[in-house]
Amino acid sequence: MSPRVTLAVAGRVLTQLRRDHRTMAMLLVLPVLLMSLLWWMFEALPGDTFDRVGPALLAMFPFIIMFLVTSVTTLRERGSGTLERLLSMPLGKGDFLLGYALAFGLVAAVQSVLAVSASVLLLGLEIQGPVVLLTVVAVADAVLGTALGLLVSAFAQTEFQAVQFMPALVIPQILLCGLFVPRSGLPDVLGAISDVLPLSYAVDAMRLLTATSDTGEVWNDLLVVCAFAVGSLVLGAATLRRRTA
Amino acid sequence: MPARSIIQHMMNNVESRTTADAVVVEDLRVVRGGKPVLPCLSFSIPVGQVTGLLGPSGSGKTTLMRALVGVQKVAAGRVEVLGQPAGSAPLRRRLGYVTQAASVYDDLTVRENLRFFARVLDADPDAVERSIAAVDLGEAADRIVSRLSGGQRSRVSLAVALLRQPEVLVLDEPTVGLDPVLRRDLWQLFHRLADAGSTVVVSSHVMDEAERCDRLLLMREGRIIADGTPAGIKQQAGSDDIEQAFLHLVEAHAGSAA
Ligand SMILES: Nc1ncnc2c1ncn2[C@@H]1O[C@H](COP(=O)(O)OP(=O)(O)OP(=O)(O)O)[C@@H](O)[C@H]1O
Ligand SMILES: [Mg+2]
C-alpha cells in the first residue's frame, strides 16, 4: 500500500461525487430534511420525544446512506471494468478500500456537521455531551456504513442485488438498535444479537451524548463501531480478487 | 498440403526462434463457466514484436489476454511474462492492458481519468499530455467521457495503457470503431513502441490490420490453428488474401476437428 495511491483513489472518488450534483445534494441535504420531518412529527405531542428519537436517527442516516452509496458505487466500478484494470496495476487492495473509506468518510463528516448543527441550532435538540464528539460518532458510523457497503458489493453481481442487502443487513440493525424497544427490554436471544450488531453501539453512543455529559462509555461504544469498520474493511480486502473466473 | 501439416510446419518454425521471450505460455488450461475455454495452449512471443491474435468471436482471445495480464483464474499450466509468473506484483508496473470494453470512468473528463491513472502508476508528469496526444484526443481532453463517441472512449482507455510506456502491451481490440486514418496512426504507434523494445499483443477482427502484424496467432475454439507471419500464413494457405487464408484455415480446422 502507498499513501500516494490511496489519496489518488480518494481524490478521484471525490471528483466523481462533485460532478454528480444530484447525489451530492441528496447526501448533504436529505439528512437535514429528514431530521426536520421528525421534529415536525413530534411537534404537537407532549414530552421530549424528539430528544429521545433524534439521536438514534443521527446515528442511522450516515450509516444507511453511506452503505447504499458505497455498495452501488463499488459495484459500478466492478461492472465497468475499471476495478479489473486497477487490480492489474500496482495498486494495493487496501489502497482501493481505504481510498473509498477516506472519500466517503469526508463526505460523511460534512453531512454529519450539517445534520447535527441543524438539529441542535434550528430544531432545539438538547445535547448534554460535547457536540464535537457527536459528530465524531456520526463520522465513525458513516465509515462503518462505507466499510459494510464495500464488503457486500463483493457478494452482489448487480446493483439490483446490492440494494437488496439493505433490507437484509441494515433493517434488522435498525429494529434491534434500541429505537423501538430499549435494548435491555429485548428477549434474551434478540438482546444477544443486538449486542453483536454495530449500529446498536452507534445508537447507544448518540443516546449517551444527548443524555449525560459523562463521555467514558461513549468512547467505548465508539471503539466498538471503529473495530467493526476496520474488520469489514479487512474482510472486504480479502474478498477483492485480482484473478477472476 | 493438408492443413494439419501446414500448422505443424509453422509451429516448428516458431519454436526454432532463439530471441529472448517476453511471453511464455506452456500447457495453459482455462475453464470458464464449466467449459474448457482454453484446453491446452502453448506458445511464446519474443521481445519487440507486434503479435496479432485473431480468431472467430468466442475463440478465447480475451481469455488468453486476461491470462497474460494475470486477472484470469487458470486451471493448469504456466504463463510467464518477462521471466516472471503472469500477474505477479513487479509485473504490474511493466505491463499495460486495454480491455475490450473501454474501462475508464464515465463521469470524469479525459484528462481527469488520465491524471488519476497516472498517479496510481506513478507515471512522470508529462505522461498525461503525451498520452492524450498519442491517441489524438487533444481537443476532447476536457470533456466528460460519457459524452464522447465510442471510438473516442476506447482511445481514452488506450491512452491509459500508454501512460508508462509499458514493456508489454496487451490490447484487446483497441481499434474497433475507429476510422482508417486513426487506425493507421495507432498501428504506426504500436510499431514505434515495438521498435523501442516493447512487446505488443493485439487482438483484432479487422483483416487489414492482420497484415500489419509481425506475427499472427490464429485461434479457433481455444486452440492455435496457425502461427506465422502474415506472408507465411497466406503462402501456406495458398491464398494471397489474408481474409481468404484465414477462412480457409478456420474451415480446414473445423473439418479436421469434426
Ligand atoms: N465471464 C465468463 N464466464 C463464463 N464463460 C465466459 C465468460 N467470458 C467468456 N466466456 C466464454 O469463454 C469463451 C471465450 O470467450 P472470449 O471472451 O475469450 O472470446 P473472444 O475470442 O475474446 O471473443 P470476441 O471476439 O467476441 O471478443 C466463450 O465461449 C465465452 O462464452
Ligand atoms: Mg474478446
Q: Write out the three cell numbers for A201.
A: 453501539
pLDDT(A96) > 60 = yes
Which protein residue's CA is at the shortest distance from atom 22 of ligand 1? Answer: B62
User: Using one digit for the tens of pLDDT, what is the confidence trace for A121-163?
Assistant: 999 888 888 888 888 888 888 889 988 988 888 788 888 888 8
Name the residue of chain B whose CA is nearest to A6's CA. Answer: B120
Q: Dihedral sign for Cα A204, A209, A211, A212, please.
A: positive
Which residues from A are below 8 Å from B121, CB to CB? 89-90
Interface probe, candidates A89, A91, A98, A157, chain B, greatest B C-beta count within 10 A: A89
**pLDDT reported for residue A37:** 92
- Rounded to two decimals, the pTM is 0.86
pLDDT of B236 > 90? The answer is no
DSSP state of A240: -
pLDDT digits (tens, 9 = 90+) for A30-66: 889 999 999 999 888 887 788 888 888 888 888 888 8
Taking all residues of chain A, what is their mean pLDDT, rounded to a whole number? 89
Work out the percent of chain B whose per-residue pLDDT is above 70.
Answer: 92
The Å distance, Cα B132 to ligand 2 centre, comes to: 25
State if residue B131 touches ligand 1 by the CB under 6 angstroms criterion: no
Give tens-digit pLDDT for B92-127.
989 999 998 889 999 999 999 999 999 999 998 899
The model's confidence at residue B14, banded by pLDDT at 50, 70 and 90, is very low
Q: Do A12 and B144 touch (CB under 8 A)?
A: no
Q: Is residue B150 a contact partner of residue B159, using CB atoms and an 8 Å limit?
A: no
**Amino acid B13: pLDDT:** 44
Percentage of chain B exceeding pLDDT 90: 63
Q: What is the pLDDT of residue B219?
A: 92
Interface ipTM: 0.86
Asked if pLDDT for residue B252 goes beyond 70, the answer is: yes
Residue B125 has a pLDDT of 83
Q: Does the pLDDT value for residue B25 go beyond 90?
A: yes
The reported pLDDT for the residue numbered B257 is 60
CA–CA distance, A70 with A170 (Å, rounded to integer): 14
Alpha helices in chain A (DSSP H): 3-19, 21-42, 49-79, 82-87, 93-117, 131-153, 159-165, 171-176, 188-195, 198-211, 216-239
Average pLDDT over residues B170-184: 88
Band (pLDDT 50/70/90 cuts) for residue B258 is low
Higher pLDDT, B104 or A237: B104
Q: Which residue has the cell 439528512?
A: A31
CB A202 within 8 A of CB A144: yes
Per the model's pLDDT, the better-predicted residue between B177 and A175 turns out to be A175
CA separation (Å) from A33 to A68, A117, B61? 18, 12, 53
**Looking at the partner chain, which of B69, B74, B92 has a beta carbon nearest the beta carbon of A90?**
B92
More confident residue, B7 or A97: A97
Chain position carrying cell 450509516: A63
> What is the rounded (10 degree) CA torsion for B102, A237, A172, A131?
-100
**pLDDT for the residue A10:** 96
Instruction: Say which amino acid occupies A18.
Output: R
Residues with CB under 5 A from ligand 2 (ion): B 61-62, 100
Distance from CA of B45 to the nearest CA of A (A): 20
Whether residue B8 is predicted with pLDDT greater than 80 in this model: the reply is no
Long-range contacts from B250-255, C-beta under 8 angstroms, 24+ separation: B250/B55, B250/B56, B250/B218, B250/B220, B250/B225, B252/B2, B252/B3, B253/B3, B253/B7, B253/B220, B253/B223, B253/B225, B254/B220, B255/B3
CA distances (Å), B64 to each of A69, A179, B88, B220, in order? 35, 54, 17, 12
**pLDDT 10s digits, A154-179:** 788 888 888 888 888 889 999 999 88
Mean pLDDT of B135-158: 92
Q: pLDDT digit string (tens) for B201-232?
A: 999 888 788 889 999 999 999 999 999 999 99
The per-residue pLDDT for A236 is 84
- pLDDT tens-digit profile of B73-87? 999 999 999 999 998
Q: Which residue has the cell 500516494?
A: A4
pLDDT(A89) > 70 = yes
DSSP chain B: --HHHHHHHHHHHHHT--SPEEEEEEEEEEEETTEEEEEEEEEEEETT-EEEEE-STTSSHHHHHHHHHT-B--SEEEEEETTEETT-GGGGGTEEEE-SS--S-TTSBHHHHHHHHHHHHT--TTHHHHHHHHTT-GGGTTSBGGGS-HHHHHHHHHHHHTTT--SEEEEESTTTT--HHHHHHHHHHHHHHHHTT-EEEEE-S-HHHHTT-SEEEEEETTEEEEEE-HHHHHHHHT-SSHHHHHHHHHHHHHHHH-
> Span B61-76, mean pLDDT?
94
Residue B19: pLDDT band by 50, 70, 90 thresholds? low
Question: Which residues, 6+ apart, have CB-to-CB distance to A95 below 8 Å?
Answer: A1, A2, A5, A6, A9
